[in-house]
């Protein structure tokens, strides 16, 4: 399916869009970190500092992961061999990683500006995945006669 998408969009267009997408999410993380750090300087607590550092780790890991996925491969002469994964493809893992960056930015800004309780919004990620999993497997769980017999 990624190959089909490449043919429709064009490998060069995917590379250009990936660069733009990476730049957008990098800037989002840097902006949220900078604003949060400014507020943290004046109103800090141990838990705020720990969660700030944890969010930095989340940003770095997420960015490195999507940057690795989007890495284009070129020949020695500079011709494009592989455009990398299309980061804007719906339903892909990149979409979930980008959602984590957005969620982390929101948690970080809201907790810095209002209350540390906004870090609890991070729980939305595993809850969402759990609901997706439940939806996917619910026929096997809830339909009568679908249970395995041994």
Around Cβ 144, how many Cβ atoms within 10 Å?
A: 5
pLDDT score of 64: 95
Asked whether residue 84 is assigned to any structural domain, the reply reads: yes
Cβ-Cβ contacts under 8 Å for 37 (sequence gap 6 or more): 52
Asked whether residue 150 is assigned to any structural domain, the reply reads: no
Contact 21, 70 (CB under 8 A): yes
Locate 116 and state its tokens.
Answer: 């540390």
Cβ-Cβ contacts under 8 Å for 124 (sequence gap 6 or more): 103
Asked whether residue 149 is assigned to any structural domain, the reply reads: no
Contact 50, 34 (CB under 8 A): no
Measure the CA–CA gap between 18 and 28, rounded to whole angstroms: 15
pLDDT score of 3: 47
Around Cβ 48, how many Cβ atoms within 10 Å?
A: 17
Q: How many domains does the chain have?
A: 1
Asked whether residue 148 is assigned to any structural domain, the reply reads: no
Asked whether residue 52 is assigned to any structural domain, the reply reads: yes
Asked whether residue 26 is assigned to any structural domain, the reply reads: yes
The full length of the chain comes to: 150
Asked whether residue 20 is assigned to any structural domain, the reply reads: yes
**Domain coverage including residue 85:** 2-141
Asked whether residue 70 is assigned to any structural domain, the reply reads: yes
pLDDT score of 145: 61
Tens-level pLDDT at each residue, the chain (150 residues): 444 444 467 878 888 888 899 999 999 999 999 999 999 888 888 888 899 999 999 999 999 999 998 888 888 887 777 777 888 888 788 888 999 999 999 999 999 889 888 888 888 888 887 887 787 777 766 666 655 555
């Amino acid at each position: 399916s990624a190959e089909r998408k490449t043919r429709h969009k064009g490998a060069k267009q995917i590379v250009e869009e990936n660069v733009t997408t990476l730049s957008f999410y990098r800037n989002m993380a840097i902006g949220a970190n900078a604003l949060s750090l400014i507020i943290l300087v004046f109103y800090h607590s141990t838990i705020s500092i720990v969660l700030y550092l944890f969010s930095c780790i989340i940003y770095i890991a997420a960015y490195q992961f999507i940057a690795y996925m989007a890495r284009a491969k070129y020949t020695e002469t500079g011709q494009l061999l592989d455009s990398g994964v299309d980061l804007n493809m719906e339903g892909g893992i990149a979409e979930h990683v980008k959602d984590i960056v957005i969620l982390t930015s929101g948690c970080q800004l809201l907790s810095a500006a209002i209350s540390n309780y906004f870090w609890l919004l991070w729980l939305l990620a595993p809850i969402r995945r759990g609901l997706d999993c439940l939806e996917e497997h619910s026929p096997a769980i809830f339909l009568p006669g679908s249970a395995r017999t041994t």
